[in-house]
Amino acid sequence: MRSRIAVTATALVLTAALSGGLLRVADGRASATREGIDVSAYQGSSIAWHSVAASGISFAYIRAADGAGSPDGQFANNWRGASAAGVTPGAYLFFEPNQSPVAQADLLISQLHSVGFTRGDLVPTIDVETTDGEPQSVVVANLRTVVNTVSAAIGSLPAIYCSPSWWSGNINSAAFTLDPLWVANWFVSQPSVPENNWGGTGWQVWQFSDAGNVPGIPGHVDLDQGGARSLPYFGFPDPTALPQAPNVAGTPQTVSDQSGDINVLWRGTNGHLWSLAFRNGTWGRASADISAAGGTGATLMSDPSVASSGSGRIDAFWEGEDHNLWYTAFSGGWFGTGTWSAPVSLGLGPLGSQPRAVSPGPGFLDVFWKGSDGGLWVDRYHSGWSGATPLNSGAVGGNPVVASAGQGSDTVFWRDASGDLWADTGTSMGWSGAKRLTSTALTADPSVSAAGAGIDVFWNSAGQLWHGALSGETWAGGVALGTETVAGNPSVVDLAPGSVIVDSREPSGLMASSLYTSASGLVGPEGLGATASSDPSSVVFAGGGAIDVVWRSSSDTLWVAPACPGCAAPAIPVFNPVG
């Protein structure tokens, strides 16, 4: 980057560098690690990019500009040279807080236009490492303007570059943790990450040295490394098959019980409940049958419903062979370990639908289902089950869905017999009463996600995606979004109030993802490069930011894709590199 503080350890590390090769700090990097560099005009005009690529460098961040008035004279030359050599390029802007933030963003966008920035490149980065003497409030406000302006132009949040100590001492704000993080922390075995591990999502790129030697580059160059999950690509990386989950029936269900970890649960082709976990940065080697101990009575007659009522806790519910509600729970241990309890029948039923569970607060669970009378029922757990209670819902069509938009509060949504959408909200004071929200018939159950005090609701009506929002007692919407044709139920997760990732299956079976914002409507969809035989299930990693979407393939195996490239930002490629 442009300005650096001298590090006395640099000379010592240089003496250990391999002659003619990449400089390495002694931290035992695996050979499969994605190695990168970042360059600017300071490296001159004669970088031999094919030699750079041959040395093992797979990506490069290239300075586009310094502030509002200083485009980097080697940006286009470096970008095209890197691309021609097969090195994935990305642009960075050195942010000057005392200059116009809109002008800085516009210059970066213009530079991206000039090189044909497109899907598969790295998202642009805002390099934040000086205050220019401005107070923290001005730096944060101007940085927010740059981020918002770039995001509006390309349809993706840019990444943030910073050192952890500088950020904590000068910015000290968690307002940017949805942006992918490029962290600068030199000569350490693992980087420190500010803002509570960047909102729980960690780093996507790590600059681990400012004194590297790379064939094809005169002098020293910054060295970078890609994260364990995904580099922050613009557009979606290819989905991944999970062959260790080969026996999937129905729609898989996802949950995150603690920062960085998720579990996928599904009804197996043998009628058992199965689980596969992503913990400690990797997927488990094998899926686990977690209902076998319950015998034939625990056979699943519905897809499961999963919730987390606290860190390291997963609760799963389903309709058993006796048509009653069954239950098992996961209690986490050290380093991603943990155990599932023996499945038990709760003696509640008979069920007329898939149960739906939600946790309105630590230690609380609410479970909803359609009873044999056709109406909605609910039971709450808090140190014990309170007893099944009927709701005044009338006849229910399909399955209930539920979200919690406040501590101790639930809102349950359902279709009536004619397909209209209804809702009821419960608090410690009781239930507010059923309310009809739409008179437009739903083709499938709605999908809901909460952020703050609001709940976003999406649904399929005759193959078209619709949206509404419920805030307290106020309903807004029932609006056809018009740009996406869907089959079955979409899956939705809120990034922040008014910002939602919508994953859906198109009539062709193609998996697609879109970004909905209250300001811009629906952006997308973009295909994820795979077809599905089930509706998707999307999950936000506990702590915020990172999102995965999971589905069943035509061969009854699980597939997964990051719904946010770099696993920390929505990236819906709508940028026109020509205009």
Higher pLDDT, 336 or 484: 484
Q: Other C-beta atoms within 10 Å of 26: how many?
A: 9
Each residue of 447-505: pLDDT tens digit?
999 877 889 999 999 999 999 999 988 999 889 988 778 998 999 987 667 778 888 99
Band of residue 335 on the pLDDT scale cut at 50, 70, 90: low
Q: What is the 3-state secondary structure (H, E, C) of 410-438?
A: EEEEEEECCCCEEEEEEECCEECCCEECC
Question: In whole angstroms, what separates CA 504 from the centre of its chain?
Answer: 15
Q: Is 228 exposed, middle or buried (0-12, 13-18, 19+ CB in 10 A)?
A: middle
pLDDT at residue 21, rounded to an integer = 31
Band of residue 236 on the pLDDT scale cut at 50, 70, 90: low
Strands (DSSP E) found in 271-319: 273-279, 282-283, 288-289, 305-310, 313-319
pLDDT at residue 303, rounded to an integer = 97
Domains of the chain in start order, with CATH, are 9-226 (3.20.20.80)
By mean pLDDT, which of 175-179, 429-433, 454-458 is the weakest? 175-179
Q: Other C-beta atoms within 10 Å of 498: how many?
A: 16
Return phi, psi of residue 244, to 5°: -75, 0
State the chain's mean pLDDT as an integer. Answer: 86
**pTM metric for this prediction:** 0.69
Helix, strand, or coil (residue 20): coil
